[in-house]
Amino acid sequence: MNINIQNDTFLTTERFLIDVAFLVVFVIGQIMHSQQTEITRRLDFIWKLQATEEKEDMEHLQAYNRKLLANILPVHVADHFLMREKNIEEIYHEQCDTVCVMFASIPNFSEFYIELEGNNEGVECLRLLNEIIVDFDELLGLERFRHVEKIKTTGSTYMAASGLTANSCDKNDFEHVFAMMDYALELFQKITDVNEHSFNNFRMRIGINIGPVVAGVIGTRKPQYDIWGNAVNVASRMDSTGLMDHIQVTEDVYQIVKDKGYNLTCRGTVNVKGKGTMITYLMPGLAKEQSN
């Protein structure tokens, strides 16, 4: 009987130890599972955080690239390249029917530009020219000049155009033409301001024309937006054959703006290279008269 009792005690102890062992293993397993779950949650959080940061970085990079490209190309052209998959070999171009083109030059800037030791071999002259161009550019940020687009600068000549998109080309009321006329007048005011604080006597000459052009981007590594056409050539001639301190416009421009309070007078016929004689109109680079 004692043997049976001892056997029962042994079996009970053995089962207890086995139960304890199972319990210990279970607890350890739960702890390990809990730790593994916590590690997984933390890793998942880190991965999500990294993904969010990478997405934000990518969005910031895209915004930076868009801003950078918009400084090189017009916004509607930049969107053309950024928002669609395009063949790199494809040439961006579009026909624009009623574009108002302006050339504004400072003919006597060459007299001011002198490469002497006193002005750092011409650097100070270029710094002042840069200030003038920046002033011209800043005007384009005004709401009333939203349809005017800078095309390029060549030396001391500034080229701009309006009506290059369907939204900006008003074929009925020609608001983009009036915007260009007002912009040209503002350029004279900017030059006056520059002369006052720099003690110079820069003088401007502006030519404006309207007509169809082809707009496009040339180059891939260094893309450049430009416009071509007879309307561009004539606008350039309006500048080169114009008078100092005046805006010279073609007959087509005159017919559009003649009743809008601009102080235009007929100059008569002007010999224009490649076009023969043309009737042109002049407006002094001062504020326009009040509209009737």
Q: Which residues are catalytic?
A: 237, 273
The residue whose two tokens read 């020219």 is 129
Instruction: Kindly report the number of other CB atoms within 10 A of residue 112's CB atom.
Output: 16
Residue 251 Cα distances to 101, 248, 268, 284, angstroms: 14, 10, 10, 17
Which pTM value belongs to this model?
Answer: 0.74
Check residue 121 and give its pLDDT: 62
Give the chain's length.
292
**In the numeric block, which tokens belong to residue 157?**
């000549």
Identify the pLDDT of residue 270: 95
C-alpha 70/C-alpha 126 separation (Å) is 24
Give the pLDDT confidence score for residue 291 in this predicted structure: 36
Query: CA 20 to CA 180: how far, in whole Å?
Result: 92
Q: What CA–CA distance (Å, rounded) separates 288 from 196?
A: 21
Say if residues 182 and 175 touch (Cβ distance below 8 Å): no
* Alpha-carbon torsion, ordered 79, 85, 89, 92, to 10 deg: -30
| C-alpha angle 23-26-28 in degrees, rounded to nearest 5 | 110
For residue 212, the SS3 value is: strand
CA 19 to chain centre: 76
Q: Which of 257, 261, 256, 262 is nearest to 283 (CA)?
A: 262
DSSP code string of 223-286: -EEEEESHHHHHHHHHHHTS-TTEEEEEHHHHHHHTTTT---EEEEEEEETTTEEEEEEEEESS
Q: How, if at all, do strands 205-218 and 246-250 pair?
A: parallel
- Per-residue pLDDT 10s for the chain (292 aa) are 555 555 556 557 767 777 677 777 777 877 887 788 878 888 888 888 888 888 888 878 877 777 776 677 777 777 776 666 655 556 778 888 899 999 999 999 988 877 555 666 678 888 899 999 999 999 999 999 999 999 999 999 999 999 998 776 767 789 999 999 999 999 999 999 999 998 889 999 999 999 999 998 887 777 888 999 999 999 999 999 999 999 999 999 999 999 999 999 999 999 998 889 999 999 998 654 433 3
Q: What is the DSSP letter of 221?
A: S
Residue 71 backbone zone (phi > 0: left; psi -120 to 50: alpha; other: beta): alpha
